[in-house]
Structures are given as C-alpha cells and as structure tokens.
Amino acid sequence: MKVLLIGSGGREHALAFALAKSPLLKKLYATPGNPGIGKLATLVSIKVTDHSTVIGFCKSHQIDFVVVGPEAPLVAGLVDDLTKAGIKAFGPSKFAAQLEGSKGFTKDLCEKYGIPTASYGRFTKEAKALAYVRAQGAPIVVKADGLAAGKGVTVAMTLAEAETAVNEIFAGRFGEGECVIEEFLEGEEASFFCLSDGVHVLPLATAQDHKRVGEGDTGPNTGGMGAYSPAPCMTAALCAVALEKIVKPTVVALAEMGHPYKGVLYAGLILTKQGPKLIEYNARFGDPETQVLMMRLESDLLPLLVASVDGTLDKAKVSWRDETALTVVMCAKGYPGDVTKGSHINGLEQNFGAEVEVFHAGTALDGEFIVANGGRVLNVTALGKSPRDAQIRAYAAVDGIDWPEGFCRRDIGWRAIK
C-alpha cells in the first residue's frame, strides 16, 4: 500500500516507525513530517488545511490510505472530504471528532448514555457560570469548550481561582466564550487507548502521561513531558470496566446519532473510589503516549488501522510486548512558554541500542545539523523489564545527547516505580 501520514510530531514519528515495519507498506509519504520521519518516509509539503490539495496529492500519487495524526485536521473534517473523494482515511469524521473538539458535546453524550464522568454544568453566559461556581464551591474544574491545546482547563482549589478562570473564558481567551464546569474528581489518572470501526472496539493499551512541566508534577501544564505503558494502575479488571461502561457505550452513542466513530478513542480516565470515570476523550493517538505504545506493539499497525476504516476490527488481533516502554520528552528551555528555535542538537547519530528509539518531535534540518524547532523537541524512548529498567535506559540515552539548550524532567515514571 502507498500511505500518506499527516503530522509532524513525535506521535507521527512513532506511527511512521510502526508503519515502516509493515510488510504491506509499499511507500510511505509524510506531510510535513520532520527530520526523524524523513528517514522512514518521503517528506512532502502539502497545505493540509486545503483539503482539495490533499485529495489532489493522493490522486496523483495513487495513495491507498491516509493516516491523520493530529486532532486539528480531524476536527476540520479532512477524513470526511477524503472519504467523499474515494480515498480511504484513518480517523473519525468531523462530527465524531467532536468527542475531542467539544467538551460540552461529550458531557451531554455521557449524561444521555449513563457513562461515568464528573457532574457538570454547561454555560454560554458568564453570570450563570459564576452563579454555578459559587453554588458548588471549590475545589471545582473550569474548562473552555473548544480545542485549547491542553491549556483551557483550570483545576481551581479556591473559589477565587474558579471565578478568574470563568472571567478569562468569557473574555475570549480561548475563542468563543463557552464553558463547562465540572465536579472535581479525585484519583490516579490513566489513559486507555482503543480502536473503533464504528461498531466493534479493539482495546489497545494503557499509558500514563506527565502533564506538568516540573519534577514532582509541579508548574504549568504542558502537552506531556513523558509517558510510559502499560499503566500499572490500569489492571485487567479496570480495563474491562472502562471498556464496557465508557468506551463501548460511546461507540453505540455515535452510531445511534448516525455518525459511527472510526479511529482511535483515547479515554482520559480518573480512577475514583467509585471506579474509572471519563475526564476527556481524544479522537487521535496521544503524544507522547503513542511513542511508548508503538515501542510495545508487536502486531502490524497498518492492517489494524485499515480494519478500523473497513469495519473489520472484530476479526483483528493485537499483541504487545510485556516490557514497559518509557519516554522522556526533551524540550527547548522556556517550554511551555516561549522558546528560541535553532539551537543545535548533537549525538543523535550514535547507536543507542536495540531497545531505545529517539523520536523527533519539534526538530528541523539546518544544513546537515539537527536543530530545535519547537517546544517539545525529542522523545527518548526505551523498553525495559520494569518501569525502573526502562527509565534507566531512557535517561542513559538522554545523557548521551548533546543539547545544552534543552531540558527534561528527571522523574518520568516515578508513579509506576513507586
């Protein structure tokens, strides 16, 4: 098959790493890709927001299958337009991608289908939102409705913080002012990844992320500073509960709405005393969770993604390595604030060993040099017999990379190791 992969992050490098191993793959293109992906795929420059250009490229290059990595093109309906043009594409439709694109949509769906989640209110008027916050009291969680790159959520421990968060949303900080206000849930967080073909669900694997920039889970939220898989807290029993009570009813709900969900369902869960509850859905693979998932994946990824589009996931099987995979995200100094681009990174060409992969996220080529080109820059990923083993291996590789302008958290995996 000829495949076009859309995206440029560590997630897409990890997907390219898995796709490149497929015996079914004849040719891999990626757009825009990055220098790491460029070693596995032919990089092409396509304006992804212009769907007719993407369709034109697929037709002229006889692309059999498109894999969409990030959420923005899904929410913009790229898969709908490719499908209409007769091109097979992996990922949910625009309607179904609302599971990620609109927190209000997901909360309403959960309520209607009895899916366990935090109780909530949904508001388009500031005064009503403030009245609700005051009536509920703190701690309470305030969320902007649309996509906000992980920055639209305030877990307010005091009423004053909650009020400020509401004020900011209605002042237009995240686009149109609509907000969801939620009950504060207590428990460990874990991510549960499944594939759906609109009818059948194939559970993939679990992972845990590290959202805060600083060691000990301190400082501002980020896109993710590191991850590991599996998540020890997600026992087989809890996975079964999450599958039956959360993911399967969601797939039923979307099918009943006439928009079957095809693609990855990435459920962000909090394991409360009453069992797993949904905090959010993502309509795509996680970043950096995909990096650890793809290290553990034994099966061929490509036919699994095709089965999600074809509706044949009931016949699919997936197997995973038993080891833990752990990834450390190396960032440019300043992240998640402003960063300087262009600093040189050396040492990437060395042999890190069979159980280590360095995935590129925000890198670029400057002549023959690899340079930093974003906030999250490299994902140093290792397999190990235990979380501790994988951690030691990943940091040994981190220490072999010469990049004075970079930094990382030194405690990725602490929860699993504890």
Going by the DSSP 8-state scheme, the letter that residue 83 receives in this structure is H
Shortest separation between residue 113's beta carbon and ligand AMP, angstroms: 18
Answer yes or no whether residue 145 interacts with ligand GLY by CB under 6 A: no
The structure tokens listed for 353 are 């060993």
Residue 157 to residue 177: CA distance in whole angstroms: 22
Residue type, 120: Y
The structure tokens listed for 325 are 């995979």
CB-based burial, 323-358: b 16+ in 10 Å, e otherwise: bbbbbbbbbbeebbeebeeebebeebeeebeebbbb
Q: Near ligand GLY by CB under 6 A, which window of 76-84, 138-146, 280-288, 301-309? A: 280-288
* Beta-bridge partners for 281: 267
Answer yes or no whether residue 286 interacts with ligand GLY by CB under 6 A: yes
Shortest separation between residue 266's beta carbon and ligand GLY, angstroms: 7
Q: Near ligand GLY by CB under 6 A, which window of 281-289, 300-308, 373-381, 382-390? A: 281-289
Phi, psi of 81 (to 5 degrees): -70, -40
Give the residue with the Cβ less far from ligand GLY, 215 or 310.
Answer: 215
Output the 3-class SS for 270-321. Answer: EEECCEEEEEEEECCCCCCHHHHHHHHECCCHHHHHHHHHHCCHHHCCCCEC
Q: What is the binding site for ligand AMP (CB under 6 A)?
A: 118, 141, 150, 153, 155, 182-185, 189, 211, 268, 279-280
Q: At what angle do helices 10-19 and 289-296 cross, to 10 degrees?
A: 20
Question: Which of ligand GLY, ligand AMP, none does residue 153 bind (CB under 5 to 8 Å by kind)?
Answer: ligand AMP
Residue 81 to residue 18: CA distance in whole angstroms: 26
Residue 411 to residue 312: CA distance in whole angstroms: 41
Question: Which of ligand GLY, ligand AMP, none does residue 184 bind (CB under 5 to 8 Å by kind)?
Answer: ligand AMP
Residue 66 to residue 49: CA distance in whole angstroms: 15
Shortest separation between residue 282's beta carbon and ligand GLY, angstroms: 5
380 CB-contact burial (10 Å; exposed 0-12 / middle 13-18 / buried 19+): buried
Shortest separation between residue 169's beta carbon and ligand GLY, angstroms: 20
45 CB-contact burial (10 Å; exposed 0-12 / middle 13-18 / buried 19+): exposed
Give the residue with the Cβ less far from ligand AMP, 184 or 320.
Answer: 184
Question: Which of ligand AMP, ligand GLY, none does residue 287 bind (CB under 5 to 8 Å by kind)?
Answer: ligand GLY
Answer yes or no whether residue 327 interacts with ligand GLY by CB under 6 A: no
Please identify which residue in 12, 80, 182, 287 interacts with ligand GLY, judged by CB under 6 A: 287
Chain residue at closest Cβ approach to ligand GLY: 224
Shortest separation between residue 366's beta carbon and ligand GLY, angstroms: 28
Give the residue with the Cβ less far from ligand AMP, 90 or 193.
Answer: 193
Question: Which of ligand AMP, ligand GLY, none does residue 224 bind (CB under 5 to 8 Å by kind)?
Answer: ligand GLY
Shortest separation between residue 118's beta carbon and ligand AMP, angstroms: 4
Please identify which residue in 282, 373, 381, 391 interacts with ligand GLY, judged by CB under 6 A: 282
Number of residues that bind ligand GLY (CB under 6 A): 7
Contact 144/166 with Cβ under 8 angstroms? no
Answer yes or no whether residue 224 interacts with ligand GLY by CB under 6 A: yes
Q: Which residues bind ligand GLY (CB under 6 A)?
A: 209, 223-224, 282, 286-287, 289
